[in-house]
Chains A and B, each alone.
Chain A
Amino acid sequence: MTWGAPARTIHRVMNSDVPAVRAAGLTVARGARTVLKGLDFTVPRGQVTGLLGPSGCGKSTLMRAVVGAQAKVTGDLDVLGRPAGHPALRSRVGYVTQAPSVYVDLTVRQNLDYFASVLQPGTARADRRSTVQRVLAEVDLTSRADNLVSRLSGGQRSRASLAVALLGTPELLVLDEPTVGLDPVLRRDLWNLFHRLAADRGTTLLVSSHVMDEAERCDRLLLLRDGQLLADDTPEALRARTRTQTVEDAFLHLVDQAAHRQEATR
């Protein structure tokens, strides 16, 4: 599938009022457990939305549902105006799993070259090479491009995995904990990259993290706990509403509040 630039622009303008993700009563069961319990939320376009919550709260399941990799999803879940997992979305949504999913027995460049030809077959070799060069620079792996992935450190592997998602210039990027185990400088660089993608290309980013200080870097936040949404707001509004200084305090405040409410109804 190759997208002409003008066609793409028209497409975007036409759909710009449709949110990137819209969920209503989203419920997911894994085995006997209900992991997501009737979530309602929207993810606006062209912004960085953070999906925050403790590990095991259902973040990865939510992301897998959005990209259409999760079975047993009930309720409504629309992505870029189509039901999640629709074949037409496969070239428009980029997904990076928590564990780096690249071939360890290929070099970084060979990985990118392969995924690029899967995403955009028929591109001239020179174009593909320049795309690969661009994403290598974006994740700061140019100097390790010709190393086997198995020789890279954990952080470098996750950046190689992230680079794959940047290849096709997707409209929605779903990133599952992309900054785990990275040093502070690199983390800052990546967050700057995320915001640049949103500002320059109008890309929508849905980024999960269990580190609360990353929440401050997001345009919007979805706070998830135990399969339920505690909040869907901007960081500023969240702090103002809970009269707290940090998102972390706001999260704790909301958890306590929910516990109180539960006790009151008991």
Chain B
Amino acid sequence: MTAQRTLATARRVLRQLSHDPRTIALMLGVPLALITLLYWAFHATPQTFDHIGPALLGIFPLIVMFLVTSIATLRERTSGTLERLLSMPLRKADLILGYALAFGLLAIAQAALATGLAVGLLHLSLAGSTWLLLLVAVLDSLLGTALGLFVSAFAASEFQAVQFMPAVIFPQLLLCGLFVPRGAMPTALSYASDVLPMSYAVDAMTRVSRETSVTGDLTRDLAIIAGSALLVLGLGSATLRRRTP
């Protein structure tokens, strides 16, 4: 019963998106354009592209899914459909998993395209397996979905929801090791970097691109990403209230 409600919700979310081809095009196309731009900008120093490329393949799915989920759930809250669904025999987990499933599928498509472009056409050096890279991208997107769902509870309007992106994502971007290696940061920031989930998203991508085998460190990174996604999903589900003031 529950699985059917989850599947129905995922199908509904995808149907909503299917009526909005421009959003789909932006979600899938913008990362491709940015990766190409990056490749072009670092044309003279391909080793820099090899350094930043994998990190971006981890960051894109996280950011895009964060944005889409926070807006989609905010809409669900403000349009009254959430209140209606919660007055029906639907478990909160059915709803959240439905969203996670729909956006997870989209994330796979996005990650497959981005990876295909970076590795296939732009010769990004990848030591590990492409499948592993895809797995990391999907976990990153689930983390983005979880964060988006959570912050949407604190946004009363689309204006506020969009502002949560610099508030929640940018600090993680600055401290994830992309700009300054995590070990070279001031101690306080290095600790902050250790507790922010995006750091592990970027670390995992970097490891997959450099190491041929699955190391213990990679497994740990993946577990941390999945664990944070589940934790934040749990927190997000606590913000879906059946009774509101």
A binding-site residues for B, Cβ under 8 Å? 1, 30-31, 67-72, 85, 87, 90-91, 93, 95, 97, 99-106, 110, 114-115, 117-119, 121-122, 148, 164
Are B83 and A69 closer than 8 Å at their CB atoms? yes
Are A117 and B19 closer than 8 Å at their CB atoms? no
Interface assignment of B80: CB less than 8 Å from any CB of chain A: yes
Are B83 and A101 closer than 8 Å at their CB atoms? yes
Are B80 and A97 closer than 8 Å at their CB atoms? yes
Beyond A90-B88, A117-B8, whether A105 also contacts B19 by CB under 8 A is: yes
Interface assignment of B244: CB less than 8 Å from any CB of chain A: yes
Q: Lowest 5 CB-CB distances: which A-B pairs, in order?
A: A101-B80, A121-B4, A117-B8, A71-B243, A114-B12
Are B89 and A148 closer than 8 Å at their CB atoms? no
Are A102 and B81 closer than 8 Å at their CB atoms? yes
Residue of B19, B88, B241 with most chain A CB atoms under a 10 A cut-off: B88
A95: chain B residues within 8 A (beta carbon): 84, 87
Beyond A68-B243, A110-B12, whether A115 also contacts B4 by CB under 8 A is: no
Within 8 A of A (CB), among B188-245: 241-245
Could you write out 22 A-B pairs with CB less than 8 Å apart?
A31-B245, A68-B242, A69-B243, A70-B244, A71-B245, A72-B245, A90-B88, A90-B90, A91-B89, A101-B84, A103-B12, A105-B20, A106-B15, A106-B16, A110-B12, A110-B15, A114-B15, A115-B84, A117-B8, A118-B85, A122-B1, A148-B19
B90: chain A residues within 8 A (beta carbon): 90, 118
Interface assignment of B79: CB less than 8 Å from any CB of chain A: yes
Question: Residue on B with the closest CB to A119?
Answer: B88
Bound state CA distance, A72 and B241, in angstroms? 13
Cβ contact of A164, chosen from B12, B79, B84, B243, cutoff 8 A: B84
Beyond A31-B245, A119-B89, whether A99 also contacts B84 by CB under 8 A is: no
Are A67 and B87 closer than 8 Å at their CB atoms? yes
Question: Residue on B with the closest CB to A31?
Answer: B245
Bound state CA distance, A102 and B82, in angstroms? 10
Within 8 A of A (CB), among B7-63: 8-9, 11-12, 15-16, 19-20
Are B243 and A90 closer than 8 Å at their CB atoms? no
Beyond A30-B245, A105-B19, whether A122 also contacts B81 by CB under 8 A is: no
Smallest beta-carbon distance B228→chain A, Å: 29
A121: chain B residues within 8 A (beta carbon): 1-2, 4-5, 8
Residue of A68, A101, A118, A164 with most chain B CB atoms under a 10 A cut-off: A118
A102: chain B residues within 8 A (beta carbon): 81
Are A85 and B245 closer than 8 Å at their CB atoms? no
Residue of A93, A99, A101, A164 with most chain B CB atoms under a 10 A cut-off: A101
B79: chain A residues within 8 A (beta carbon): 99, 101, 103-104
Interface assignment of B86: CB less than 8 Å from any CB of chain A: yes
Bound state CA distance, A115 and B80, in angstroms? 14
Bound state CA distance, A31 and B79, in angstroms? 22
A117: chain B residues within 8 A (beta carbon): 4-5, 8
| Chain B 78-102 per-residue mask, 1 if CB under 8 angstroms from chain A, else 0 | 0111011111111000000000000
Smallest beta-carbon distance A88→chain B, Å: 9
Are A69 and B1 closer than 8 Å at their CB atoms? no
Bound state CA distance, A100 and B80, in angstroms? 8
Question: Residue on A with the closest CB to B79?
Answer: A101
Smallest beta-carbon distance B73→chain A, Å: 13
Are B89 and A118 closer than 8 Å at their CB atoms? yes
Question: Residue on A with the closest CB to B245?
Answer: A71
B245: chain A residues within 8 A (beta carbon): 30-31, 70-72
B87: chain A residues within 8 A (beta carbon): 67-69, 90, 93, 95
B20: chain A residues within 8 A (beta carbon): 105
Residue of A90, A97, A105 with most chain B CB atoms under a 10 A cut-off: A105
Bound state CA distance, A121 and B89, in angstroms? 10
Question: Residue on B with the closest CB to A97?
Answer: B80
